[in-house]
Structure 1
């Protein structure tokens, strides 16, 4: 008798289309606690998320073959589109077929299946995500009044602007663009100017090869921040271009540490930059006393540098967060200008700070970029060029002066060259174009003691050598002795201490080739070079200073 009401309820539930979990509830009433335990387990297991995946194929037949290979796909749609993208210096366009589908399979499994069946070597495979901090985005621009013809014109313009990696026009004239987070505002403005209205943005994830291509193609997208005298804004300008735009100034390159809470050797950077300003002012006639006091002393310059870093980093974190920086560390390039260069910089930043008597107090700028990863071995260095005239001053004009040497370096036939080493006429190696240089000879570290710019990492290395009992010889290594070296190293803010694997000496005006290699060094785990590299890296946090960066960066 007790089962009759339950059976009646079961019939009612069946007529109502009872879900499986509801049926389990009914069975648990009949079978007891064992089923109730199974029910709890079933309810605790979340349903796999449903992904909306999009790719493109070269033709209808290729799209059909792809769909046949994706047995797990549901809600499959195919649509003919026209794609615009940049290739070999010009905008290209071609017809494609967009394939979209839904699946609850893990995305990694979807990627493998699509890549195996796709006709492209590097297909676009994107899935919508809910990550509002994503680096990659899909935008849909509604059809323009001119239909597909107007859509094609806007898509071509967007591809030419290098703000998007590709723009795909549907038959109704709507446009789907793929871009990076920092380009969304510029893309939206371009769409609005053409009457496209608001862009519907969706964050996406995808196959790594395509996402790398996407990032490389969006060259006009702001991915850095530039600040000048407290005014900060996103910028597509690289650190090199930033320095080239502010010639004749004293500059320094710093790095954050501890996840961005601090700046490595910040006091040293301040003191060295002020000393560079003072040296350059003296070489140019001395400058006004107010200018010397404001920019040529650490006490006068420190508040300006602090303010520039804070403004630039705050804007960087607001615009990009951590997604661009990978490990979260940043590269800071600061430059101090005076005279006409400062006036031009201030005009560009909308700032005109002056001393009470009306004389120009100069301009302080800061460029923020993600700290680049260390280069993959083998690390190569080549001997090319002469030492700088004023090595004690870090002059932004040096960036332009070394450009011809860097062009030859990029032309190397042996693979990437990581640094240029500057040599005197007698063959003494003083420093690199952007680094300090060291040779290991008979277990001792040899490095120039004068005629160089003493970098912050060099200072730390000498401290580590003193603590570890490693002899240091403050004398420039001689190229003629390279065959006796047990190792070689370079140091810089971004690379810290980096062992050199191969050394080249090319003819003047010629790129490095295999015949120009004069030394190969073994930098295995037991080598002194590798041990010093690890010891220096371990000391970075202890040699950093918190300077009141925004809380978003410090978390």
Structure 2
């Protein structure tokens, strides 16, 4: 079974033509991870999606939405991220259309190759698409690359979060530069984990609120939610709108669960009924503990708080709805 497949082109016009589809390359070395794939190329806008790689009979391009969970969301994310990176300048519509078509050709080629060479019946795939700027000497402006590997397996059903780091600028833009920017935060997470002799699964970014309160925004690669008084709270401004975040909000609407688009406040943690994070890999994962540092008498003191385990069963209802109604494609 291939560890990862990659297709790439710097000639979008040629990729759009039926006669030319770039070769699909198999990776079976240290460059097979999504992180290595992105860091090996110029920084650009990207998206990661869950692919139901064992779907039988991959059809035409307009059938990708039956193979990739919420494919239209990911196409829209690429386009809007590119415009945000260009400081809200509208990228040429005709170029975007060609870029989307070229992307779908490469994605289709990679998925077909994966289905032809993979024997695993149940494993979902992790599909990543990168649009990156080319040197100024080229005419096409942007290159594109597609990467597909097996979906990473989650080793735990709950998580511990470290509240640390300020919210990022231009958070709505999903850009691979964030992988390098977050390295100092990841090092601090490792340091705290070693200090407390226990794992830290994710960092929770925050910003200062009134009266010194901490407003909890998002994880490095996740969105963050809190259940309080049978309502779901999650930040709306200053966060990346993740694809599973959208599925959760859709589930809440269909389940008649009230959503408050405001960042949860650390000071109100005693009122929380539950908390969870979302991502393409984790889907919906409960948060059972928060860790943060406070300055007390001139010293940094580690604080921890245990979060109830979904006593109202609301998180499980959302998780089941996302899994049953949104993750299972025809």
- Is TM more than 0.5 here? yes
Q: 1:247 to 1:484 in 2, by over 3 A?
A: farther
Greater shift in the superposed pair: 460-469 or 436-445: 460-469
Question: Aligned partners of 2:215 and 2:98: how far apart in 1?
Answer: 37
2:81 aligned partner: 276
Q: 1:227 to 1:424 in 2, by over 3 A?
A: same
Question: Once the 2 structures are TM-superposed, how far is the Cα of residue 532 of structure 1 from its aligned partner?
Answer: 1.5
Q: Secondary structure at the match of 1:252?
A: strand
**Quick one: which of 243, 248, 258 aligns to 1:456?**
243
Q: 1:507 to 1:227 in 2, by over 3 A?
A: farther
Question: Aligned partners of 2:34 and 2:294: how far apart in 1?
Answer: 30
Please list every run of 5 or more consecutive structure 1 residues that lacks an aligned counterpart in the other structure: 1-180, 183-222, 344-357, 509-513, 547-555
Question: Aligned partners of 1:259 and 1:225: how far apart in 2?
Answer: 15
- Asked whether the equivalents of residues 51 and 125 of structure 2 are also in contact (C-alpha less than 8 Å), the reply is yes
Question: Aligned partners of 2:167 and 2:149: how far apart in 1?
Answer: 28
1:388 aligned partner: 168
Question: Once the 2 structures are TM-superposed, how far is the Cα of residue 441 of structure 1 from its aligned partner?
Answer: 0.8
Please list every run of 5 or more consecutive structure 2 residues that lacks an aligned counterpart in the other structure: 10-21, 57-66, 296-300
Larger Rg: 1
Question: Once the 2 structures are TM-superposed, how far is the Cα of residue 517 of structure 1 from its aligned partner?
Answer: 1.5
Q: 1:234 to 1:415 in 2, by over 3 A?
A: farther
**Quick one: which of 226, 234, 240 aligns to 1:447?**
234
Does structure 1 residue 334 correspond to structure 2 residue 129? yes
Q: 1:322 to 1:443 in 2, by over 3 A?
A: same
CA-atom RMSD in angstroms: 2.7
Question: Aligned partners of 1:247 and 1:444: how far apart in 2?
Answer: 42
1:255 aligned partner: 50
Does structure 1 residue 359 correspond to structure 2 residue 139? yes
Does structure 1 residue 315 correspond to structure 2 residue 110? no
1:399 aligned partner: 179
- Give me the TM-score of the superposition, normalised by structure 2: 0.80
CA-to-aligned-CA distance 1:465-517 (integer Å, 9 cap, x gap)? 11212111111111111221111111111221211111111469xxxxx9532
**Quick one: which of 526, 529, 545 aligns to 2:315?**
529
Task: Identify which of structures 1 and 2 has the higher relative contact order when contacts are C-alpha pairs closer than 8 Å and 6+ apart.
Answer: 2
**Quick one: which of 243, 254, 257 aligns to 2:38?**
243
- Asked whether the equivalents of residues 274 and 301 of structure 1 are also in contact (C-alpha less than 8 Å), the reply is no
2:289 aligned partner: 502
Q: Secondary structure at the match of 2:306?
A: strand
Higher helix share: 1
Does structure 1 residue 471 correspond to structure 2 residue 234? no
- Asked whether the equivalents of residues 430 and 451 of structure 1 are also in contact (C-alpha less than 8 Å), the reply is yes
Question: Once the 2 structures are TM-superposed, how far is the Cα of residue 370 of structure 1 from its aligned partner?
Answer: 0.5
CA-to-aligned-CA distance 1:230-286 (integer Å, 9 cap, x gap)? 332112311011111224300101001384461000001001111101111236xx5
Q: Secondary structure at the match of 1:240?
A: helix
1:419 aligned partner: 202
Question: Aligned partners of 1:244 and 1:420: how far apart in 2?
Answer: 21
Aligned residues: 294
- Asked whether the equivalents of residues 255 and 371 of structure 1 are also in contact (C-alpha less than 8 Å), the reply is yes
Q: Secondary structure at the match of 1:381?
A: strand
Does structure 1 residue 267 correspond to structure 2 residue 65? no
Question: Once the 2 structures are TM-superposed, how far is the Cα of residue 442 of structure 1 from its aligned partner?
Answer: 0.7
Q: 1:432 to 1:318 in 2, by over 3 A?
A: same
- Asked whether the equivalents of residues 49 and 128 of structure 2 are also in contact (C-alpha less than 8 Å), the reply is yes
Greater than 4 Å deviation, 4+ residue runs:
none
2:104 aligned partner: 306
1:294 aligned partner: 95
- Asked whether the equivalents of residues 270 and 305 of structure 1 are also in contact (C-alpha less than 8 Å), the reply is no
Q: Secondary structure at the match of 2:166?
A: coil
CA-to-aligned-CA distance 1:204-236 (integer Å, 9 cap, x gap)? xxxxxxxxxxxxxxxxxxx21222123321123
Q: 1:258 to 1:530 in 2, by over 3 A?
A: farther
- Give me the TM-score of the superposition, normalised by structure 1: 0.49
Question: Once the 2 structures are TM-superposed, how far is the Cα of residue 540 of structure 1 from its aligned partner?
Answer: 2.0
Q: Secondary structure at the match of 2:236?
A: coil
